[in-house]
Structure 1
């Protein structure tokens, strides 16, 4: 962990909601899994752990962010999730960013708490191992300030996948206690599966 006497960077939160949801057929960030649009539910979750929370979005989405929530439009256009992450890191170079995607509807307070409590700020990131392919999951990750130049370096090489950065750099990868919580919902089939899980959980 971080050496004594060194200040741990504060955490800000980022909800990735700038995708066009082409595989789903309608906007994923607007699905009300928990009684409100997912981007706002996720922002409320992150507010328990972060000093400020922003919703990463396209410029055309910015005006539609609800009152009481903060939007952050991508400066790195056409780069997918990496664009949102880089925009956040560049906006405040002194903090780490707890990033989650809006297509992870099963993420809850315990899985975020575990990530924050086990964070290693001396690594470039703290993340989870995906139960689906065994690789690090970049869309629920704490990105430390030092990850910014590394992400830029990969971007300069034409590599826009944040997962490749995690695979090839010094990050902490945690095993999720409840792997199903990391389920990505990108298609109508995924949506129905997630609905079934949530209905059983609520019984």
Structure 2
């Protein structure tokens, strides 16, 4: 059934009233090839013509286009735009690549806004440069990635894993069952991941959550090859090697939706992982991280070599690192004293 056609075979906007509001992010790419005659106007960061700076104008145009998508595309929903980031990269051959990343909290996807922004940026570049030459060629426009809405993300599944297999020996109680948000924290993390992931699992030891509130949550049981969280991560990759994985430890009381949004917004398929930098030390945090399938071989090799520390795995990986800022706080809680100091 065509979703934009009603029972009378007439055009109709899709009814999204029954859908849940989710955090949704989409990135689109478009391009334009400039002629050699444009090279003399390049300043190193932009083309400057009598009309003004080309890239700066294109970024403004793209942002305006994103906000006006519903007025251009028939039957497209008007949705709130929470973030719009436009990046323009010129190559040595004067091919200009535009990427547009848009974020919303809405009931429907935002990929049309991202593609609209990328296309309009290229059209604006054409308009700004046509006084010099009309020998410009618009390239293809494509969706690079999207998240939210329970669909494939980045052209492959996005799965979530909550690490709960630790013994919580210093806390003297199961950290996964501690309630910061009115429910066991592992359950809370699962619910946050569930807003953007196709599937979410707990990582646990066999029988660990029997007779608890977590026993009915889908679980991937740790392999016996290694101790610690690296075992859970490797077991997840063994089960679904072609997936992107968001891995989150259960002892992060300040974990929230914005943390996930920042990881998704900075997705890079050529990286092994997208991770936040530790706020005190110079290393990438491995237990609140978006891993691409490329990371599978790194964890497999680490286990084979007897490495049990995921921090060491990331030191040898291609990691896109992000700064912890705003509401992103990856402080972990391991002792009763630290637990007393938590303020949500």
Name the TM-score, length of structure 2 as normaliser.
Answer: 0.53
Give the whole-Å Cα distance in 2 for the aligned partners of 1:192 and 1:134.
27
- Name which of 309, 329, 337 aligns with 1:161: 309
Within-5 A mapping of 1:1-203: 8-64=155-211, 65-67=214-216, 69-178=217-326, 181-194=329-342, 197-198=343-344
Shift in Å, 1:76: 3.6
Shift in Å, 1:184: 0.6
Give the whole-Å Cα distance in 1 for the aligned partners of 2:255 and 2:306.
31
Helix, strand or coil: the match of 2:341?
helix
Higher strand share: 2
Shift in Å, 1:157: 1.6
Unaligned runs of 5+ in 1: 199-203
Shift in Å, 1:133: 1.7
**Per the alignment, do residues 87 and 62 of structure 1 end up closer, same or farther by CA in structure 2, a change over 3 Å counting?**
farther
In structure 2, the residue matched to 1:201 is: none
Give the whole-Å Cα distance in 1 for the aligned partners of 2:226 and 2:210.
20
Give the whole-Å Cα distance in 2 for the aligned partners of 1:25 and 1:47.
29
Q: Number of residue pairs matched?
A: 195
Name the TM-score, length of structure 1 as normaliser.
Answer: 0.88
Shift in Å, 1:77: 4.7
Q: Is the 8 A contact 1:17 1:56 kept in 2?
A: yes
- Offset from partner CA, 1:122-177 (integer Å, 9 cap, x none): 11111100102231100101111111111111222211111111112211111121
Shift in Å, 1:5: 8.7
**Per the alignment, do residues 156 and 78 of structure 1 end up closer, same or farther by CA in structure 2, a change over 3 Å counting?**
closer
**Per the alignment, do residues 119 and 24 of structure 1 end up closer, same or farther by CA in structure 2, a change over 3 Å counting?**
same
Shift in Å, 1:2: 11
The higher radius of gyration belongs to 2
The alignment's C-alpha RMSD in Å is: 2.1
Q: Is the 8 A contact 1:77 1:83 kept in 2?
A: yes
Give the whole-Å Cα distance in 1 for the aligned partners of 2:328 and 2:322.
14
Larger RCO, structures 1/2 (Cα 8 Å, 6+ apart):
1
Helix, strand or coil: the match of 2:208?
helix
